[in-house]
Amino acid sequence: MVVVSKPAIEQFSNIRNNKPASALFTQIPLVDMSKPDSKHQIIKACEEFGFFKVINHGVPMEFISLLESEATKFFSLPLCEKQKTGQPKPYGYGNKRIGTHGDVGWVEFLLLTTNQDPNLHRFQSFRLALGDYMKSVKKMACEILETMADGLKIQPRNALSKLLMDEESDSVFRVNHYPPCPDVEPVNANGNGNGDVIGFGEHTDPQIISVLRSNNTSGLQISLKDGSWISVPPDQNSFFINVVTDYSPQSPLHNFPSFLSPNSLAVMTNGRFKSVKHRVLSNSVKPRLSMIYFGGPPLSEKIAPLPSLMRGDQQSLYKEFTWFEYKRCAYNSRLADNRLIHFEKIAAS
Ligand SMILES: O=C(O)CCC(=O)C(=O)O
Ligand SMILES: [Fe+2]
């Protein structure tokens, strides 16, 4: 449980002035992995949002329910037990503080590497449930990346998924628990209410692909291109995928020989594509539990604009860097920071 006294709640950001949702918004794109045209559904979803919901995903419900119940059991333990998984530096148990640069949220979490994690040796049943779940979710993530490669005509079709399958893949798993937050009163039409409390502040995910599953409690929001925020209706039977946004039908991504993270994609397209900003608002009544697999490339993978995407005498906006260098920089920044700024040539000069 997140333990905070009533006055201390004031240290959490409250959101009062939400830009109203875009009038154009209808619903989160849906991809049915059992349909032959799923590749078109994925490409369309990427063109629109870089964020979509997946059904018929092939991950057994028993793996999902078991991991959810193990995670719930873990978070209901006394604080000192949870802290035995180690401090989040970056892997381990964290409470309210996200990162080391002042971000706080109404959340507690467990951050793990997807390789054997020594931190969980005291929690054997949790660890076993995690193993089954992760194997199945990774398989689905690879299938999505391969289907996406088909849709984008990327050859070979495992050009993206092989980065996740690599033994050195730097993939991460995160379980977030947002206890009900007392005193949340969203601002109503008369301007009353103290505003929503931030569970997890706005940010973009750095890895290649994020695969999120949550219980049936709302809270997740994504930012549209016009800067407005929309709420993602929860669905405990489906997965939500965050890949990359802003593909255009004539996008040079159709010629991508390889693929890196959403943020790195901004580099590879020389600033043309960005990843989806999202955040979580806390709920006053129900706890939210989310489990996210972040598929990442090996640490030594180089991230640089692709020569095939440079037009004429266009210069690269970025210096070349490795995934390791980017991650080091990400851990030294705040959630909402532009983590690429250190690699921009203009910022560096
Ligand atoms: O808890 C959620 O629903 C999303 C959390 C998130 O965006 C993250 O852990 O990167
Ligand atoms: Fe995220």
More confident position, 254 or 335: 335
Q: Check if 278 has its Cβ closer than 6 Å to any atom of ligand 1.
A: yes
Answer yes or no: are the C-beta atoms of 12 and 106 closer than 8 Å. yes
Q: Is 200's C-beta closer than 6 angstroms to any atom of ligand 1?
A: yes
Mean predicted lDDT score pLDDT of the chain: 78
Mean pLDDT for 118-145 is 91
Identify the three-state secondary structure at position 116: coil
C-beta of 292 in contact with ligand 1 (< 6 A) = yes
Nearest atom (ligand 1) to Cα of 278: 7
In this predicted structure, the answer to whether residue 254 has a pLDDT above a threshold of 50 is no
What are 163's two structure tokens?
């980065």
Residue of 174, 213, 279, 288 marked active site: 288
1-10, 53-62, 70-79, 196-205, range with the lowest pLDDT = 1-10
Question: Which one, of 284, 287, 279, 280, lies nearest residue 217 by Cα?
Answer: 287
Cα 333 to ligand 1 centre (Å): 17
Contacts for 73 with CB less than 8 Å, ≥ 6 apart: 126
Q: How far is CA 342 from CA 32, 253, 299, 323, 347, in A?
A: 39, 24, 18, 13, 7
CB contact at 8 A, 68 and 289: yes
Residue of higher predicted confidence among 104 and 337 = 104
- Could you tell me if the CB of 31 is within 6 A of ligand 1? no
- Beta-carbon contacts of 142 under 8 Å, excluding residues fewer than 6 positions away, are 158, 161, 164, 165
Tell me which of 240, 241, 243, 292 to substitute to probe ligand 1's pocket, judged by most ligand atoms within 8 Å of the beta carbon.
Answer: 292
Mark whether 288 is an active-site residue.
yes
Say how far apart CA 149 and CA 158 lie, in whole Å: 8
